[in-house]
Amino acid sequence: MKTTRQTIVFDAADIETESRFWAEVLEGQVVGDAEWKSVRTAEGVVSVGVQLAPQHRPSRWPEEPARSHLDLWVTDRALAHQEVLAHGARLVREAEAEDNFNVYASPAGNIFCLVWPVD
């Protein structure tokens, strides 16, 4: 099988807020219509998609496992933490002991992690 592109897509009842959140976090631009948005980088690469899902409900992680999530590898974890919170993320689980990741929820409740290298 030959694929030409891979995109992770987030469902959201409020497509405008969710796509704007991802555009701010990923430093991209939102393009699309009322039912589908893409977040494109300055180079034109589609980093994520957001599709309108009126019945979407936020994840209830950790009570219910997330079916999938996005890991964002960062170089400055403290700065990245402050930035995603400022853009509307919610901290779900802070790193414990030797963990190298924090777990967050986007405005629509989609789970993602900020991950940093282990020294």
Q: Is the pTM of this model over 0.85?
A: yes
Measure the CA–CA gap between 45 and 11, rounded to whole angstroms: 20
- SS3 category, 97: coil
pLDDT for 118 = 87
Percent of the chain with pLDDT over 90: 74
Beta-carbon contacts of residue 14 (< 8 Å; ≥ 6 apart): 107, 108
pLDDT confidence band for 62 (50 / 70 / 90): confident
